[in-house]
Chains A and B, each alone.
Chain A
Amino acid sequence: MLLLIVWTQIPFILTIYHSFRRFNLLNPERQGFVAFENFSSLLTDPVFWTSIQNTLVLVGSVLFFTVVIGLFLAVLFYQDFPGRALARTLVISPFFVMPVVSALIWKNMLMHPVYGLFAWVAENLGQRPIDWLAVYPMQSIVLMVSWQWIPFAMLLILTGLQSLSKEQLEAAKIDGANAWQEFRYVIVPHLAQTLSVVVMLETIFLLTIFAEIYASTSGGPGLATTTLPYLIYLKAFGEYRIGVAAAGAVFAVILANIVAVFVLRMIGRNLQGGRT
């Protein structure tokens, strides 16, 4: 317990502390209190706004794809069919792949403009191969990250589906509901809570996506895929500007907290519900 307090709260307080100071690891003598200078230098830096925008685009699109495809797959795998366990095992596998490895697979073996599989397919179809990560950097990252997180959405939605009572579905059938109505009026409302948990948890995880970007595009080309976490990493360990990085970190925490408040409220309600 004490360990947790020491390791989670104190570092953040130190982050805030550093965000008000000038501190460059390359130039450790020059330090001192600079009030809001780090914040203002960050806020006036167009790179910062690009990174915020990239972060939101990434999180938003991945959320969209994972929830839509995850829902589709969950409903599909809710049906009973021969070999379901095996097929399901295959579908969820991407989630367990180390993010770095996933980045390497996509970058080198699939999207590579010369030796990649996509390039070969494109050539066979008479198209010119595309250097995916250079021409469509953000789209490629979204594809990569979605691939990893679809199984997560699917697993959670599937678990949610399994708590749906068969009687409810049968009652709907007796009332003459067709498949679509069944889906729309029975399944979707039942899943409302599950879906909101999926969206919120994913948002929290996705806001901190780092390894995929580090290993595939390194934030480039230019700034096309520099997200807030990556920018902080660059400021701290590329430029050694600890103060500015700390200011960026404060923003990242604020962003995550906005989401976290909703999640906590949700889980808190669930906890209370579970105890009665």
Chain B
Amino acid sequence: MSQARRIRWELTLLAYVAAGIMFFPIFWLFLTGFKSEGDAIAIPPKLLFTPTLESIYEALTRSDYARHFLNSIISAVGSSALALVLAIPAAYSMAFYPTKRTNGTLLWMISTKMMPPVGVIIPVYLIFRDLRWLDNVWALALMYTVMNLPVVVWTLYAYFREIPHEIMEAARVDGASTSQELTRVLLPVSGPAIASAALLSIILAWNETFWSLNLTAAQASPLSVYVASFKTAEGLFWAKMSAASMIAILPVMVMGWLAQRQLVRGLTFGAIK
């Protein structure tokens, strides 16, 4: 074996080892999710065991788990849909009809993202309390919409900017109104961008904990809060905890895998391509 090939082989091995180490905690969680409670806390830890779907089944069929799951879906998907509805026209106008203030507006929008949530939690909490919005999943979705709107606008803007203006102009010459231009011309060509913006927004909302913990209680709390309630679980419920966690992170992890590249753009507001 030549030296170059050996180095190559060693690097490959190193990469797999690194991947293994990074992934191990997740692997361990998944493994425990398929164990019975007895196997989950066995010492020495059991690598070989009879897999059981018992814990997963139990997690899925507990009525409050279903409710938290539904809350997560409503708040994540609902907020993303609303964010898209608001962001598409905004990004459209900024990308195709830029004014002197466009740059400033864009910068100002991300500046709102840099504000730590703790900076505004108190007034938001008090407003929600006075409006009787606490523990309301739709109010939480609204909160997430605001949280993710800048990111969504930026992702779309970065993409729209690269669409040739001629397409739009051609449509206008043919007598299309602005709304037709938007729905008939822009939307069909920007499917991937809209999809990745939606994914990003769903992921961020799904994993969010700070707002959900402080603004919801039993009725409206999403999975993140439900999983957090396991934090004091001492041994006894590890298999259930793992199963519940596994189902909670799986959808987002799959989405994340599929959207890696777009995620980088979205998270860095297009600063790294």
Contacts and interface: CB of A to CB of B under 8 A. Distances in A.
A136 interface: no
Q: Is the interface of B mostly helix, strand, loop or mixed?
A: helix
Contact of A215 (B15, B203, B231, B267): B231
B28 A105 contact: yes
A109 B224 contact: no
Contacts of A96: 203, 207, 249, 252-253, 255-257
A16 to B, nearest CB: 9
Contacts of A9: 112
Nearest to A243: B122
Given A105-B29, A108-B233, A267-B271, A4 B123 contact: no
B8 interface: yes
Contacts of B210: 208, 210-211, 229
- Residue among A214, A242, A249, A250 having the largest count of chain B Cβ atoms under 10 Å: A249
Contacts of B56: none
A163 B264 CA distance: 13
B263 A155 contact: yes
B48 interface: no
Contacts of B263: 155
A164 interface: no
Q: Which of A83, A92, A259 has the most CB of B within 10 A?
A: A92
Contact of B121 (A84, A102, A236): A236
A246 interface: yes
B150 interface: yes
Contacts of A77: 15
A159 B252 contact: no
Contact of B123 (A18, A252, A267): A18
A183 to B, nearest CB: 14
Interface residues of A, number: 100
A85 B75 CA distance: 32
Contacts of A76: 11, 14-15, 18
Contacts, number: 267
Contacts of B79: none
A194 B273 CA distance: 10
Interface in A82-119: 82-84, 87-110, 112, 114-115, 117
B119 A15 contact: yes
B51 interface: no
A178 interface: no
Interface string B213-233: 110000000011001101101
Given A92-B256, A101-B227, A159-B264, A246 B22 contact: no
Nearest to A249: B119
Given A84-B15, A105-B25, A211 B120 contact: no
Contact of A81 (B8, B45, B125, B252): B8
A41 interface: no
Given A98-B249, A211-B213, A267-B271, 15 more contacts: A3-B145, A3-B149, A81-B11, A93-B256, A96-B203, A98-B245, A124-B44, A155-B263, A159-B272, A197-B271, A214-B213, A249-B120, A260-B111, A264-B110, A271-B106
8 nearest A-B pairs in the assembled complex, by CB-CB distance: A14-B123, A96-B256, A211-B209, A260-B114, A11-B120, A253-B119, A81-B12, A90-B23
21 contacts: A18-B122, A76-B14, A87-B19, A96-B257, A97-B253, A100-B227, A102-B25, A105-B28, A120-B43, A147-B22, A152-B267, A156-B267, A197-B268, A197-B271, A204-B114, A229-B116, A229-B118, A229-B210, A237-B214, A252-B119, A268-B103
